[in-house]
């Protein structure tokens, strides 16, 4: 039988069973669409989670005082409580750490500040943070309006500040452009607004949107004491180098803290790459589950398709025999 006649016969059969042909196409289309849609959705979820974790500093690690008691000599006969990380130690680390990275030195002065502008003021539950010029980059915070601090403004301890987004809503009717270059009162002290942060939300028990950020020298002079514990965060340029950077930071900070060989470290390093590892592990499990669901969807579609094909063949068995008999 010529190919053209076979093709025409197939078209006539499709027209005669148009509903059945449409259902067959829909089964194939929806089966493939479901699988692709599920895989696309899980990729979007993974990307979103990874982006959120990156905002917490996926390529960063922090150096914190160790709160439990540590051994003070090789044999461990004496123990002591780790001393706070002083400003001089934090600043020395920043100056001496030559690895390709940015070092942030900061401290959270309090969570009981009151901010005033004109006839408006906040409740006394606003955070006040002293920072250096690298803080926003290390923390993954973005300036939405205005700018961050320069090195000169940090070193001089100038009375300037950057506001969290929630404070702009309260004090400036949610108009961040009107907040720039205005003078506000922070616990009775005057600060000029030079920037507004992009909305970030709460993390680790504190809200970046309800905080005022000022040069660390300025805040240290007003709120710092001998017992103030300063925070150090290191943000490396390439996330694959984070382990090497952590090793160098550990060795350098041991020298700065005056620890002898054999003494336990009285500080600890926390890296958010552990969070990324948890994310990847959970994402892999989630991906496997969605692939299984997608395969079950395809199996259901295949069963429906085979059922239609079986019905079609059964109905046309006599017709096929006639065609074969006629040759």
Q: What is the pLDDT of residues 14-72, one digit of tens each?
A: 676 777 777 777 777 777 787 787 778 777 776 666 565 555 556 788 999 887 655 55
260 pLDDT tier (thresholds 50, 70, 90): confident
Task: Tell me which DSSP letter residue 14 carries.
Answer: H
Q: Report how far residue 234's alpha carbon sits from residue 275's, in angstroms, rounded to the nearest whole number.
A: 16
313 in helix, strand or coil? helix
pLDDT digits (tens, 9 = 90+) for 207-236: 788 999 999 999 999 999 988 999 999 988
Q: Report how far residue 92's alpha carbon sits from residue 100's, in angstroms, rounded to the nearest whole number.
A: 16
Q: Report how far residue 138's alpha carbon sits from residue 63's, in angstroms, rounded to the nearest whole number.
A: 13
Q: Report how far residue 288's alpha carbon sits from residue 262's, in angstroms, rounded to the nearest whole number.
A: 46
**Residue 206 burial (CB count, 10 A):** 13
Q: At what angle do helices 87-96 and 242-257 cross, to 10 degrees?
A: 130
Q: Report how far residue 204's alpha carbon sits from residue 53's, in angstroms, rounded to the nearest whole number.
A: 12
Strand partners, 71: 79
In angstroms, how far is CA 133 from the centroid of its own chain?
21
β-strand pairing of 189-197 with 160-163: parallel
* Averaged pLDDT of the chain: 82
**Model-level pTM greater than 0.85?**
no
Handedness of CA 77, 80, 82, 86 (dihedral sign): negative
Handedness of CA 250, 256, 259, 262 (dihedral sign): positive
């Amino acid at each position: 039988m010529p190919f053209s006649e076979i093709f025409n016969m197939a078209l006539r059969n499709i027209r005669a069973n148009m509903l059945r042909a449409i259902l067959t196409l829909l089964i194939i289309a929806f089966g493939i669409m479901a699988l692709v849609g599920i895989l696309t959705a899980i990729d979007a979820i993974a990307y979103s989670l990874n982006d959120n974790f990156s905002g917490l500093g996926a390529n960063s690690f922090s150096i914190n005082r160790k709160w439990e008691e540590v051994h003070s000599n090789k044999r461990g006969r004496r123990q002591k409580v780790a001393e706070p990380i002083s400003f001089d130690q934090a600043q020395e680390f920043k100056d001496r750490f030559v690895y390709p990275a940015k070092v942030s030195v900061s401290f959270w002065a309090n969570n009981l500040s009151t901010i005033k502008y004109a006839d408006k003021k906040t409740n006394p539950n606003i955070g006040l943070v002293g920072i250096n010029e690298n803080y926003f980059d290390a923390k993954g915070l973005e300036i939405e309006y205005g700018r961050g601090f320069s090195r000169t403004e940090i070193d001089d301890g100038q009375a300037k500040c950057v506001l969290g987004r929630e404070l702009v809503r309260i004090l400036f009717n949610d108009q961040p452009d009107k907040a720039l270059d205005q003078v506000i009162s922070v616990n009775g002290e005057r600060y000029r607004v030079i920037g507004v942060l992009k909305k970030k939300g709460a993390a680790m028990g504190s809200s970046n949107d309800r905080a005022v950020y000022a040069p660390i020298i300025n805040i240290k002079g007003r709120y710092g004491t001998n017992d103030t514990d300063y925070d150090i965060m290191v943000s490396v340029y390439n996330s694959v180098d984070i382990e090497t950077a952590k090793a160098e930071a550990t060795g350098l900070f041991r020298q700065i803290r005056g620890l002898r060989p054999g003494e336990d470290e009285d500080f600890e390093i926390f890296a958010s790459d552990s969070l990324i590892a948890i994310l990847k592990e959970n994402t892999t499990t989630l991906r496997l589950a969605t692939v299984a669901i997608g395969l079950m969807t395809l199996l259901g579609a295949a069963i429906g398709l085979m059922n239609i094909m079986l019905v079609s063949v059964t109905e046309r068995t006599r017709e096929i025999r006639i065609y074969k008999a006629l040759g």
